[in-house]
Amino acid sequence: MPEVGSRVHLVASTWNGPIEVEGVLLSPSAEDYLTIKLVNGYNATYALDSVDEITCLGDIVTPSNDVQTVAVNSHLPLVHILHTGGTIASKVDYSTGAVTARFEPEEIISSVPELLNIARIETRKLGNMWSDDVRPQHWNRMAEAAAISFSEGAQGVVITHGTDTMHISAAALAFAFSGCGGLPGGRIAFTGSQRSSDRGSSDGSENLIAAVHWAAAGPSTTGAGDSTVVVMHAGGDDGSMAVIPGCAARKNHSSKRDAFSSINQPNIGIITVNKGEVVLDLDESYIAASSKLNSRSTESSPTLYDGGVKILQLIAGAHLHADQITHASSHGYSAILFWGTGLGHLPLDNPGDAPENDGVRAAIE
């Protein structure tokens, strides 16, 4: 059996007939099995007794930890990348199949060299967490870190974030800086990756290039939906990234590259990345809205969120009962958010055989 890390060609018997694959041999996921990282980035596992032939194609793949020193153009705008989670740039550990994120500027530029012509990059690691675990204290940490970056001369900030709740964090920071009528001290772009960077279809590099371009060279913030933006793929193909207002962004799909869209208002613009050339095209509606706004003051100290606020979310429907509502009022909840049906309806009327609805009405009143 070839050693872990070797490039191999494997022939195995499956229910659908013989199959041939090539890739890098990983540590097995279970006893009496072997696992291969395929060229497309996916892992495939086969029972040892189904393997008819395995041939070593090359030496063990050892990811290099060497990072080249890069010459930085001091005339380029300064952009800070604040990492909260997800993958900016990464390498594959073939002994485990894991993808390890890189954070240092030299590492990022080594993996995404196009950034070298866009901005001077500095990085700050705020955390490395699943976006599902983000709470108000993490929004505060992001907002404070962004404010510090602007005070240190950064023209823009890119916040790398897990995609599941990235749109929520983008809205939270927009309110932190602009909820009282002010503006952040520079441009704030959220971005992430729908596809892991060890897959050929990964979108992370182009998203990062576009987000850094917005942070470095986008228009000055005006409050026309641009206090924060989400920069992600505009379609399934390479080359086109949407700049979405932070307070209008929504994630509509778990894994599509173009999972994010703007709700009830147009995108701010489209950033095209093509063979090293990066171009921003602003939407006419954004240009018009920005031109009509009076100048706002810069908010150097963002409003922070109270982590002690408790909000109960209840879904309207056949299983909504009065005791769920009274529980909130008797356990110190700050508010109840009802996800209503239709135009926000709740089961409040008793058609003659639904006394539960009377209870819901009484609990609300």
Question: Does some domain include residue 303?
Answer: no
Question: Does some domain include residue 65?
Answer: no
Res 179: pLDDT: 94
87 is catalytic: yes
Res 137: pLDDT: 97
Query: How many domains in the chain?
Result: 3
Same domain flag for 105 and 135: yes
* CATH number, position 21: 2.30.30.520
Q: Which residue has tokens 């700049």?
A: 243
The domain in which residue 188 lies consists of: 78-292
* CATH number, position 114: 3.40.50.1170
pLDDT per residue of the chain (365 residues) written in tens, 0 to 9: 888 888 899 999 998 899 999 988 888 878 899 998 887 777 889 999 999 999 999 876 565 555 556 667 889 999 999 999 866 555 666 555 556 656 666 677 777 888 989 999 999 989 888 889 999 999 999 999 999 999 999 999 999 998 999 999 999 999 999 999 999 999 999 999 887 665 656 788 899 999 999 999 999 999 999 999 999 999 988 899 999 999 999 999 988 889 999 999 999 999 999 988 999 999 999 999 999 987 889 998 999 999 999 999 999 999 999 999 999 989 999 999 999 999 999 999 999 999 999 999 999 99
Same domain flag for 188 and 327: no
Which residue in 84, 87, 123, 191 is the catalytic one? Answer: 87
Question: Does some domain include residue 305?
Answer: no
Q: Please state, in angstroms and rounded to a whole number, the distance separating the CA atoms of residues 312 and 155.
A: 39
Question: Does some domain include residue 343?
Answer: yes
Calculate Rg over the CA atoms of the chain: 25
> 3-class DSSP state for residue 282?
strand
Same domain flag for 203 and 335: no
49 is catalytic: no
Q: Please state, in angstroms and rounded to a whole number, the distance separating the CA atoms of residues 245 and 361.
A: 37
Which tokens go with 159? 């916040």
Same domain flag for 33 and 114: no
Same domain flag for 114 and 178: yes
Which residue, 110, 262, 282, is CA-closest to 213? 282
Which tokens go with 325? 């509502």
Same domain flag for 324 and 272: no
In sequence order, which residues have a C-beta less than 8 Å from that of residue 239 and are 6 or more positions away? 206, 272, 273, 274
Same domain flag for 26 and 111: no
Res 67: pLDDT: 56
Beta carbons of 86 and 52 less than 8 angstroms apart:
no
Same domain flag for 223 and 275: yes
Same domain flag for 217 and 336: no
| Chain mean position to CA 260 | 10
Residues forming a β-bridge with 228: none
Q: Please state, in angstroms and rounded to a whole number, the distance separating the CA atoms of residues 333 and 317.
A: 21
Res 309: pLDDT: 95
Res 3: pLDDT: 84
160 is catalytic: no
Q: Please state, in angstroms and rounded to a whole number, the distance separating the CA atoms of residues 140 and 88.
A: 22
How would DSSP label each residue in 110-149? HH-GGGGGT-EEEEEE-----GGG--HHHHHHHHHHHHHH
Which residue, 93, 120, 118, 117, is CA-closest to 105? 120
Question: Does some domain include residue 163?
Answer: yes
Question: Does some domain include residue 69?
Answer: no
Res 80: pLDDT: 96
Same domain flag for 283 and 320: no
Domain closes at, from 292, 322, 342: 292
Which residue in 93, 125, 164, 358 is the catalytic one? Answer: 164
Beta strands in 103-258 (DSSP E): 120-125, 156-160, 187-191, 229-233, 240-245, 249-251
Q: Please state, in angstroms and rounded to a whole number, the distance separating the CA atoms of residues 103 and 115.
A: 14
Question: Does some domain include residue 301?
Answer: no
Ramachandran quadrant class, 317 (left: phi over 0; alpha: psi -120 to 50; beta: rest) = left
Same domain flag for 17 and 111: no
Res 29: pLDDT: 72
Same domain flag for 51 and 103: no
> 3-class DSSP state for residue 295?
coil
Res 204: pLDDT: 82
Which residue in 35, 84, 163, 191 is the catalytic one? Answer: 163
Question: Does some domain include residue 1?
Answer: no
Torsion angle, CA of 142/199/261/177, rounded to 10 degrees?
10
62 is catalytic: no
